[in-house]
Amino acid sequence: MASLTVTMKGQVTLKRELLQHLGIKPGERITLDQLPGGELRLRAERPAGSITTFIGRHAGKVKRPLAIDEINEIVAAGWAGDR
């Protein structure tokens, strides 16, 4: 179990091993949940994507628009673990 020291400003620093365990990189956020009995649950905050960022990320990378049937086939294959 890791032990942390609280500074005069009320701050703590997480050791590198703990951050690596959580998969946290510089600039990313951590979420703390308050639990009963004075306990906290610490976890990496994962950004929720939006359709706008998804479309923006792939804009201009397709030579022609896909038909809805082609999209459905790709999605079905992805859910089945084929791709």
Q: Is the pLDDT of residue 57 over 80?
A: no
The pLDDT value recorded for residue 65 is 76
How far, in Å, CA of 83 to CA of 81, rounded? 6
Q: Residue 72 — very low, low, confident or very high, per pLDDT cuts 50/70/90? A: confident
Q: Is the pLDDT of residue 6 over 80?
A: yes
Which parts of the chain fold into alpha helices (H)?
Answer: 16-22, 51-58, 68-80
Residue 28 has pLDDT above 90, yes or no: no
Mean pLDDT of the chain: 82
